[in-house]
Amino acid sequence: MKDATQGQSPLEILKEELSSRPGRMNALVRHLVSCTIVILLSMTLQVPLLSISLVLVFFVTQSSLALTRMLGMLFIVSTTLAVGVAILLLKFTFDYPLLRIAAASLVFFVSVFFMRTCRLSPLFFVMALVTIYIQSQVDLNNNPEALTRVCLWAWVAIVYPTVVTVAVNTLLLPLPPPAETPRAPKPPLLVADAFENPAYLQFAFKTLLAALLCYLLYTAVDWPGIHTAMLTCLITAMPSLEKTLHKGLLRILGCLVGSALALLCMVWVVPQIESIVGLLLMSLPVLGLAAWVSAGSPRSSYAGIQIAFAFALALLADFAPMTNLSEIRDRLVGILLGVIVTLLIHVGLWPESEKA
């Protein structure tokens, strides 16, 4: 099939991707209402990991209520399982770093395998994401009790915005007209060749290897601030090189835009903020831009999530706006490292082509 973007200039492509389309304004409103509630609750009740909570709003908000509710349920179930597994791993392997890393790697490997082969892939994606996030926190805090609190707060920071987002979408998402169409049979839970095609195991191994290499790199140079490299290895891993490169580029571009906006706000707006109202007035326009991009075509929508994530991670990671420029630098370095390592691994080991 001929690419629709062939012969178009970058400016024309950008204009097309940002143009209005049916349902886009409604999606913008749903995103902004959910984000406003989440920011108010997190800041008022001092719930940590606000950047993660805001990203959950973008992941859970979908074009249909049924899909939004399904994803919300999967996120709640998978987060509960992942946090429970993480606490058990820390309990039995905390004093044995090699055993802890090996056990977490096994959970991550199995999760990525089923992320590729199972119809409930979002469940296993969250399992892998929470597992790798918790492991990145061990090196930042060697207190078992504090790490347990980190695990429980991670559960709260994911579950409550998911509930908020589902509730907002239930109230604001237009109901489609009833259609008399026969129900299609449900696809099987696993793909037919899940345990026969070696590509699935190879994909899980490549994703794990990329994450471990990033872990070794930032541990060796004692730069824990770039731990986002590990998350990037999971987030950008796709079945084909073309899709992996495309998603990696969208992650980089989105984070560059989000970080640039965060830098501008840090210099010009943050010094003027005196209340949570000022914080909302600063954050909502950027989150609105991210929501508008996210509600666009699949070709560019992922960049919207990254704009929101980079902005929130730079400015809303604490209970007050951040003023440390190194936070922005570290996140960008971590993302670039993760994308580069992922591409090198996927090119060098069992490369998969979209045309194959």
pLDDT of residue 2: 46
- Let me know if residue 167 belongs to a domain: yes
How far is Cα 178 from Cα 175, in angstroms, rounded to an integer?
A: 9
* Contact yes or no for 52/154 (Cβ under 8 A): yes
Tokens of 124: 């296993």
Q: What angle do CA 258, 263, 267 make, to 5 degrees?
A: 150
pLDDT at position 5 is 56
Domain membership of residue 93 (yes or no) is: yes
- CA separation (Å) from 345 to 103, 132, 134, 353? 22, 18, 24, 14
pLDDT confidence of residue 279:
87
pTM of the model: 0.85
Calculate helix-pair angle for 50-60, 144-172, nearest 10 degrees.
40
With respect to residue 244, please indicate whether it lies within any of the assigned structural domains.
yes
Domain assignment present for 355: no
Q: Does any domain span residue 14?
A: no
The answer to whether position 148 is within a domain reads yes
What integer pLDDT is reported at residue 139 of this predicted model? 73
Written as one string, the DSSP assignment of 75-98 is HHHHHHHHHHHHHHHHHHHTT-HH
User: How many domains are there within the chain?
Assistant: 1
- Angle, CA of 154, 298 and 300, to the nearest 5°: 85
Which domain does 236 fall in, by range? 22-174+195-348
Residue 1 lies in a domain: no
> 205 CB contacts (<8 Å, ≥6 apart)?
109, 349
- Per-position pLDDT tens, the chain of length 356: 445 556 677 777 778 787 888 888 999 999 999 999 999 999 888 898 888 899 889 989 998 899 999 999 989 999 999 899 888 888 888 888 888 889 889 999 999 999 889 888 888 888 888 888 887 778 777 788 888 888 899 899 999 999 999 999 999 887 666 655 556 677 788 888 888 889 999 999 999 999 999 999 988 888 888 888 888 888 878 877 788 788 888 888 988 898 899 889 888 888 888 788 888 999 999 999 999 999 988 888 888 988 998 888 778 776 665 666 777 788 788 888 888 898 889 888 888 776 54
- Judge whether 119 lies within some domain: yes
Nearest one of 246, 257, 255 to 298, comparing CA atoms: 246
- The pLDDT value given to residue 38: 95
